[in-house]
Structure 1
Amino acid sequence: MSKVLVATDKPFAKAAVDGIRKIVEEAGFSLELLEKYTDQADLVKAVADVDAVIVRSDKVTKEVVEAAKNLKVVVRAGAGYDNLDLAACTAKNVVAMNTPGQNSNAVAELALGMMVYMARNTFQPGTGAELKGKKLGIHAYGNVGKLVAHIAKGFGMEVYAFDPFVAKEVIEKDGVKVLSTVDELYSTCHYVSLHIPANDKTKKSIGYELMSKMPKGGTLINTARKEVIDEDGLMRIMGERTDLKYATDIMAEGNSTFAEKFASRYFSSPKKMGAETAEANINAGLAAANQIVNLLKNGDKTYQVNK
């Protein structure tokens, strides 16, 4: 009998766990839980004889992969998968997957909420601004970016996008204006919503040069990854331009300095909040379970990320 492990330092909601168990057991597999563990060694020990693993933000390192002698698939319940050691998975013939789209609406709503919060002076006394009529730039037009654009148009925003990996026709079909360069996106838009992944090309790519191009009152919203931000460059330009704002749900390494220097122009949630809704929690967990069953029974590798 194949064994599936749900390893979550921050556990799924009970409804998600119940749903995962139902899917796994109806497929004829067994389910084990490792929740609220405090040491990575606990995860290394728990994977010893499992065939599949579901994680959230838990780190599936080379050590974990090598300790899992029977491991065939690991699924990150969420869109980002930089917590998975893809090279280690590939070396051991382990299929690594994510669950794209399951958290998208939650992240998109958070991005717009942050825009409102920053536009209204973090809800402190004083005259704020409206989103209506403002230009919003979507930096990467994937599942989340598409939903951000849809919601923003409901606010009456003028929406632009830059994504060299998505066909112009696909974006324009949604009533979004396509810009040809990232520089053009930042120089055109009052708000930029970041949805790029963290990789060798994007890490520390958003900083002084791009932010310096933004119009007066420019606001950067980051619900992607903190690694894509050049914090030194961002701090420098925010020091030079007292009109610029930055809001993120991935706390900056220099959080205390940002908060001290820029007060109402900077906001960070205490922890990553993008997928923190009951709906996203359940959707991602169930999707992960279904993908494992489909792979183990049918060889379906649709969402493999270590191809």
Structure 2
Amino acid sequence: MKVLVATEKPFAKIAVDGIRKEVEAVGYELALLEKYTEKQALLDAVKDANAIIIRSDIIDKEVFDAAPNLKIVVRAGAGYDNVDLEAATAHGVCVMNTPGQNSNAVAELVFGMLIMAVRNFYDGKSGTELKGKKLGIHAYGNVGRNVARIAKGIGMDIYAYDAYCPKEVMEADGIKALDSAEELYATCDIVSLHIPATPETKNSINYALVNRLPKNGILVNTARKEVINEAELIQLMDERADLKYITDIMPVANEIFAAKFPGRYFSTPKKMGAQTAEANINAGIAAARQIVGFLRDGCEKFRVNK
């Protein structure tokens, strides 16, 4: 069996070493395609691969067509919208993600950006503290749980809304569970987004919803840029000079946000949530273990396509 690691943004060497150890321990071959700049390099590399480990790399129908022996693709990370699930299913390929491996890294970034925002981006002027603020967690998954854990240590008042997570689960963690996104935004000083990009959620963070934030509200996005209705958020921030938007996913309209809202807007230059040595290692090794579990034992625990 041949396992290909195809990463335009490479794993750290220690992560590759860990992946190699997992793969070669069961007699599989490991191949690396790193820092490639042309899609053709990926198409050539997958021709004889049985499994692929990727990061943010695009795996579409063309890639599946070029990989007749492919059985599984594992996205080292939680999000998997860079993989064409329909094409994967049509080709009989299992797609998995590695939920939870990057969660702490993303959660820590939320607070790194938040502290910067409440201190006015360190412009020398007096800011505010996070302690005592009402934090709303929009989607209580792995990242949301880690955000809640850190927020408790800071002394924040924590609320959450998740259409798919039972209230009892959130309440057992000491979180105040609310009944709707509308209630969450109306209640909290800060809302941290952790929803996936789905047909239901795309553009769902809009004027009407964000306008429910109280005075000096802050919206934090470490989820997906597609969930933000950018035109409506720009309109709202034009009308409300008190709102701030900080994001780990650069908007399509980044230049407009930056020009119109200095001191109220910040975007990382590229998605940084999982960019820690620990998350890099954890996700890569988890991906390798899941491939071995699938190819050797038929384990489909983290399968995301049907």
| Fold shared, TM-score > 0.5 on shorter chain | yes
Code of the residue aligned with 1:209 in structure 2: it is A
By how many angstroms is 1:164 displaced?
A: 1.4
Distance 1:304 1:264 in 2: 42
By how many angstroms is 1:115 displaced?
A: 1.0
2:211 is the counterpart of 1:209: no
Distance 1:164 1:202 in 2: 12
> 2:127 maps to what in 1?
128
Distance 1:155 1:236 in 2: 33
2:20 is the counterpart of 1:21: yes
SS of residue in 2 equivalent to 1:32: strand
> 1:194 maps to what in 2?
193
Distance 2:60 2:211 in 1: 38
> 1:93 maps to what in 2?
92
Equivalences for residues 128-207 of structure 1 within 5 A: 128-207=127-206
> 1:113 maps to what in 2?
112
SS of residue in 1 equivalent to 2:44: helix
2:278 is the counterpart of 1:279: yes
Distance 2:236 2:260 in 1: 12
By how many angstroms is 1:44 displaced?
A: 1.1
By how many angstroms is 1:58 displaced?
A: 0.2
Q: How many residues align?
A: 306
The 4+ residue runs of structure 1 with deviation greater than 2 A are none
Distance 2:231 2:121 in 1: 23
SS of residue in 1 equivalent to 2:27: coil
Code of the residue aligned with 2:273 in structure 1: it is G
Distance 2:119 2:64 in 1: 47
Code of the residue aligned with 1:89 in structure 2: it is A
By how many angstroms is 1:211 displaced?
A: 1.1
Code of the residue aligned with 2:70 in structure 1: it is L
SS of residue in 2 equivalent to 1:4: strand
By how many angstroms is 1:112 displaced?
A: 1.2
> 1:239 maps to what in 2?
238
**Unmatched 5+ residue regions in structure 2?**
none
Distance 1:123 1:175 in 2: 32
By how many angstroms is 1:114 displaced?
A: 1.1
Code of the residue aligned with 1:76 in structure 2: it is R
Q: Deviations over 1:14-63 (max 9, x none)?
A: 00001101110111100000000001121111100100000000000110
SS of residue in 2 equivalent to 1:175: coil
Q: Percent identity?
A: 63
Q: Deviations over 1:69-90 (max 9, x none)?
A: 0000000000000001000000
Q: Deviations over 1:231-273 (max 9, x none)?
A: 0000000000000000001101111110110011000000000
Distance 1:65 1:107 in 2: 30
Distance 1:13 1:88 in 2: 30
Distance 2:39 2:136 in 1: 39
Q: What is the RMSD computed on CA atoms of the aligned residues? A: 0.5
> 1:54 maps to what in 2?
53
Q: Deviations over 1:141-183 (max 9, x none)?
A: 0000011011011111000000010111100011000000110
SS of residue in 2 equivalent to 1:75: strand
Distance 2:176 2:286 in 1: 32
Q: Deviations over 1:263-295 (max 9, x none)?
A: 110000000000000000000000000000000
Code of the residue aligned with 1:11 in structure 2: it is P
TM-score scaled by length of structure 1: 0.99
> 2:220 maps to what in 1?
221
Distance 1:114 1:71 in 2: 40
SS of residue in 2 equivalent to 1:183: helix
Q: Deviations over 1:162-207 (max 9, x none)?
A: 0010111100011000000110000100000000000100001102
Code of the residue aligned with 1:295 in structure 2: it is F
Distance 1:281 1:241 in 2: 39
Q: Deviations over 1:87-106 (max 9, x none)?
A: 00000110000000000000
